[in-house]
Structure 1
Amino acid sequence: MTNFRLAAAISIVLGLSACGKAPEQTADAPAAPATAQPSMIQIDGSSTVYPVTEAVAEEYQIANQGKVRVTVGVSGTGGGFKKFCRGETSISNASRPILEAEINACKEAGVEFIELPVAFDALTVVVNPNNSFIESATVEELKTLWQPEAQGTVMNWNQVNPAWPNEPVNLFGPGADSGTFDYFTEAVMGKAKASRGDFTASEDDNVLVTGVSNDVNALGFFGFAYYKENADKLRALPIKATADSAAVLPSMETVLSGEYVPLSRPIFIYVNAKDAKTRPEVKAFVEYYLSHSEELITEVGYIPLPAKAYELALGKLNGFKAGTVFEGHSEVGVKVEDLLQREPK
């Protein structure tokens, strides 16, 4: 068979398959036994939550011997909600609560959701390990550096703190679709998305890691897991909530004790309520997620919730309690146990 005829034959077979029809079998070509295709669960959203969900997905697929395939994309919290509210994904990873505009988009599309906190994150501010002049940063210094008014004007380190050198500061941070960006700006500036725009932005945290690790005058921020994974290339800055408070490094201990403020936060998955009700594999995956979270979350570098919180989350899933306990915006300093006791709206 010539290459042309071979290509034509393949095209015919693919065309018939796309229409849901199999090519007819000839007498001398007996039909092959049918092979069951694995069920598919599609997930997208936050790069911060990605390491947790990817770890759970890998373990779940092994446990199910390939009967269920789980794909996990990374388009940022905002990008993930766009797909989720269009019904394109069953689960959305989110590093902040769903916003009012996203709630309305889901409502208009008839998508109900179950909101489930899955871990704590310590949003981590990092510098190059060869940076010898900055030992810690106050929230006010971070505001001076990142606020919208700083764009094009606050360009050197000594403009933030006169004790720091007259050297250019190069900033790296998540893009505007990132929930980490939203939370950082709300915690530091007091308003989500209130930020200068002249910094290197990426939804891929590995790009930010590379940028800071290659530039002695760089500063960036992202989730704790990415810092831990790259601790040999970066230095985490201790943060002072006020000028007079102690400088606190991000860690499991300082997050759980409430010392690491205001950059501690819960992270979430949002589950399509209809899929949880009508697709057993989706509900089973989320049950597996909540039941195996503690070990896997610790493994990837985040802080697991208290065991009671996972029990409450499972109850919320099994009761199909749709809605959000937020008012369409993030809450700085919120406790997960308190959130799980609230009734979703």
Structure 2
Amino acid sequence: MQTDKFDGALRGVSRRQFLTATSVGSATALGGCLGSEAADQGESGEDEELSGEVTVTGSSTVYPISETMAERFMAENPEVTVRVKSTGSGGGFEGHFCPGDSDINGSSRQIKSAEKSRCGENEVTPVEMQIAGDALTMAVNTENTWADCLSFDELAQIWSEGGAETWADLNSEWPNEPFERYGPDTTSGTYDWFTETVVSSAGPHRSDYVSTEDDGTIVQGIEESQYGIGYFGYSYYEQNKDRIDALQITATTGDACTEPSLRAASDGTYPMARPLFIYPSEEALTREPVAEFVRFYLENSTADWIADDIGYVPSSDEQSAVNLDTLETIVDESSH
């Protein structure tokens, strides 16, 4: 990963503008540096080793962060098993978290009111915690030499029902060849965010595309199709930039185009920047392994390796502190 994306000025100022560039409700800025180490289990003077299981489901975008957090946490707590499964944001809420079968759900968009209601029916109380930022990326085949920037309007034409069918429909000088579309499944938070933010201006998101919860499948499809196009979280592009090309994006036709990057997501210049979340349940946080894993996750959400090794914008110290205060309040209340 490129480590020059976060110089001193970026850490101190530009990350604070990140959330104002997204259409998601939370407006707290992203940034900061490596948080404090996970709490030392031996500080209490007790010799008991933490043990148990933690189950994490949800967003394929958030998955790389949760998976790495789980690996690092288990290295320090070998008697705890943390299972992380990529199900899509909505798939995780619907099929696992709200029924009470998982402790934490990762999400690349905020939980929906209908999902909150479903959780409530099962006496599951989701707790929203913003843990990173992303530059949603629209990618094409490396042999695509005609398109380097698309506007929100053009993206809506490509991805909406009844919209453009060929590249030439967007520009008569482009190939008169049909789009080969690859994208996330309807259970994905990335699908929801892109539909609401970009596609909805032209109508519903079209259904005649290759849909999958496996972002690797999207990368492979684009790589093998000269006329392919698809979208996913920035991390997957960063890991595969030798196989596919990222398009520059502009929200308004005629305005400056911006390529996806962590810097552009952080300073608010990239139009498809968005925050990422985890949702532990209050009920699961009453179990010590879950509470300690979430504490570890939040304390390390500001770490440089989230940018350097995974490809997302780390959380800010301020956001991490807010999340930790929320966690401590829930844990304290459950102990009385």
In the superposition, the TM-score normalised over structure 1's length comes to 0.78
Q: Counterparts in 2 of 1:242-253, with a 5 A limit? A: 242-253=252-263
After superposition, the Cα gap between the structure-2 partners of 1:109 and 1:70, relative to the gap in structure 1 and judged at 3 Å, is same
* Rounded Cα–Cα distance in structure 2 between residues aligned with 1:52 and 1:37: 22
2:56 is the alignment partner of 1:43 = yes
Report the CA distance between 1:280 and its aligned residue. Answer: 1.0
* Residues paired across the two proteins, number: 280
C-alpha offsets along residues 250-274 of structure 1, whole Å, 9 cap, x if unaligned? 111111111111x111011000101
C-alpha offsets along residues 234-254 of structure 1, whole Å, 9 cap, x if unaligned? 111000111121100111111
Q: Counterparts in 2 of 1:80-95, with a 5 A limit? A: 80-82=92-94, 83-95=96-108
Q: Counterparts in 2 of 1:1-345, with a 5 A limit? A: 38-64=51-77, 66-82=78-94, 83-150=96-163, 154-190=164-200, 194-261=204-271, 263-276=272-285, 278-293=286-301, 294-298=303-307, 299-320=309-330
* Rounded Cα–Cα distance in structure 2 between residues aligned with 1:297 and 1:162: 42
After superposition, the Cα gap between the structure-2 partners of 1:102 and 1:192, relative to the gap in structure 1 and judged at 3 Å, is farther
In the superposition, the TM-score normalised over structure 2's length comes to 0.80
Contact 1:130 1:216 survives alignment (8 Å): yes
Tell me which structure has the larger Cα radius of gyration: 1
* Rounded Cα–Cα distance in structure 1 between residues aligned with 2:293 and 2:248: 37
Contact 1:42 1:90 survives alignment (8 Å): yes
1:320 is paired with a residue whose SS is: helix
* Rounded Cα–Cα distance in structure 2 between residues aligned with 1:63 and 1:252: 29
Between the aligned residues of both structures, percent identity stands at 37
What amino acid maps onto 2:293 in structure 1? F
Contact 2:50 2:289 survives alignment (8 Å): no
* Rounded Cα–Cα distance in structure 1 between residues aligned with 2:141 and 2:148: 12
Contact 1:186 1:192 survives alignment (8 Å): no
Task: Report runs of 4+ in structure 1 exceeding 4 Å deviation.
Answer: none
Report the CA distance between 1:112 and its aligned residue. Answer: 0.8
Alignment RMSD, CA only?
A: 1.7
* Rounded Cα–Cα distance in structure 1 between residues aligned with 2:199 and 2:146: 24
C-alpha offsets along residues 31-72 of structure 1, whole Å, 9 cap, x if unaligned? xxxxx99511011111110000000000000011x1100000
* Rounded Cα–Cα distance in structure 2 between residues aligned with 1:157 and 1:58: 43
* Rounded Cα–Cα distance in structure 1 between residues aligned with 2:200 and 2:306: 29
Task: Specify every segment of 5 or more residues in structure 2 that has no aligned partner in the other structure, as ranges.
Answer: 1-48, 332-336
2:133 is paired with a residue whose SS is: strand
Report the CA distance between 1:147 and its aligned residue. Answer: 1.1
* Rounded Cα–Cα distance in structure 1 between residues aligned with 2:280 and 2:113: 17
Contact 1:115 1:268 survives alignment (8 Å): yes
After superposition, the Cα gap between the structure-2 partners of 1:251 and 1:37, relative to the gap in structure 1 and judged at 3 Å, is closer
Higher RCO, 1 vs 2 (CA within 8 Å, ≥6 residues apart): 2
1:172 is paired with a residue whose SS is: strand
What amino acid maps onto 1:160 in structure 2? L
What amino acid maps onto 1:161 in structure 2? N
Contact 2:156 2:200 survives alignment (8 Å): no
* Rounded Cα–Cα distance in structure 2 between residues aligned with 1:55 and 1:191: 37
After superposition, the Cα gap between the structure-2 partners of 1:81 and 1:195, relative to the gap in structure 1 and judged at 3 Å, is same
Report the CA distance between 1:97 and its aligned residue. Answer: 0.7
Task: Specify every segment of 5 or more residues in structure 1 that has no aligned partner in the other structure, as ranges.
Answer: 1-35, 322-345
* Rounded Cα–Cα distance in structure 2 between residues aligned with 1:135 and 1:163: 14
Contact 1:95 1:180 survives alignment (8 Å): yes
